[in-house]
Amino acid sequence: MRFKKLDLNLLVALDHMLELRSVTAAADKMFMSQSAMSNALTRLRTYFDDPLLVQVGRKMELTPRADSLRPAIRDILVRTEAAIDIAPAFDPTTTDRTFNLLLSDYSLRILMPSILRLAKEQNAKVGFNLKAQTTTPYLQLEQGEIDILISPEDFVSHDHPYTQLFEDEYVVVAWKYGTYGETTLDNSTYESAGHIAMIPPQQAQTVDNRVLSEAGLARNIQVTTFSFSTIPHLVSGTNLLATVHRRLAESMISQAELTIHPLPSKASRLRQMMQWHTYRDSDPGIIWLRNLVQGAGQSLPKHSRAR
């Protein structure tokens, strides 16, 4: 099919080439020969009167024209895919559909087991593809690569619908047999102690950093890790402290022999959100998935008090 003399089939090839910045990788992804993909690039270059991808050293880089085209082409394809995929009805007990969820390892541990349990209770035959959190998670939503984003409110986009799943608060964990196991933490004690912190790859700012900064607290970070769920176990057997989500701490308190302290200063709570693409707002499958995830959030146990 052509539109204004452009073969629209070429847009899919262009989308893959712009994303992967490689003719060979794009050809592999589309199960095409490299020569066929090269021919597609030649036709696109002729149509747009622009090289689109240029060799710079060992890599291919986008031209300014290609960079400006990328979001528009992705938007067209996401709209088209959404229109094609939306069925008049959705039956989770007979479908073979796989949903893509992007979430942190915190949500993976705290929320995902409840999602799977509820899916089993409904005898759902759906598949789940769980993707790790990224620096800008909403971009994968924009590009149609995920169906649901589960993320703190700080990282959702205001261009797509979202709703709150649950709230959590930050607490301090210490090894119960260590220096801070039985000590009441004040600001001075908190700030003078060594800390373990989670530092996401390629992401300088985190929610706990913001919360602590707003509360006027600073940390003497001595150990960093890439995973929330490892922190309580790393604290065990040391005199280090860690500021983590209460739900995560409570899920591991007995395994890691922890004491849970409240933060020494009042801090804002974490609001964990669920977001989906606006083009899929009426998709019966996505509606079912949203209800499932919302139900899992509502089924989470209530907090106990810090001690």
Strands 127-132 vs 98-103: parallel, antiparallel or unpaired: parallel
Q: What does each C-alpha distance from 105 to 3, 10, 147 come to in angstroms? A: 44, 38, 18
Q: 180 and 163 in one domain?
A: no
Please list the pLDDT of the chain residue by residue as tens digits (307 residues): 455 566 667 888 888 888 888 888 888 888 888 888 888 888 888 888 888 888 887 788 888 888 888 877 877 777 676 666 666 678 999 999 999 999 999 999 999 999 999 999 999 999 999 998 877 777 788 777 899 999 999 888 888 899 999 999 999 999 999 999 988 999 999 999 999 999 877 654 678 989 999 999 999 999 999 888 899 999 999 999 999 999 999 998 888 899 999 999 999 999 999 999 888 888 899 999 999 999 999 999 875 444 3
Q: Copy the structure tokens of residue 40.
A: 């597609």
**Residue 92 forms part of a structural domain:** no
Q: 246 and 177 in one domain?
A: yes
Count how many domains the chain has.
Answer: 3
**Residue 91 forms part of a structural domain:** no
The residue range of the domain holding 160 is 98-167+270-298
Assign residue 83 a region: left if phi > 0, alpha if psi is -120 to 50, beta otherwise?
alpha
Minimal CA–CA distance to 145: which of 132, 154, 159? Answer: 132
Q: 132 and 18 in one domain?
A: no
Q: 207 and 179 in one domain?
A: yes
Q: 242 and 126 in one domain?
A: no
Inter-residue contact 276 to 161 (CB < 8 Å): yes
**Residue 293 forms part of a structural domain:** yes
**Residue 306 forms part of a structural domain:** no
Residue whose pair of structure tokens reads 């262009």 in the numeric block: 14
pTM above 0.75, yes or no: no
Rounded distance between C-alpha atoms, residue 212 and residue 266, angstroms: 9
Q: What does each C-alpha distance from 52 to 48, 233, 270 come to in angstroms? A: 8, 49, 43
Rounded distance between C-alpha atoms, residue 26 and residue 38, angstroms: 10
Minimal CA–CA distance to 133: which of 115, 123, 148? Answer: 148
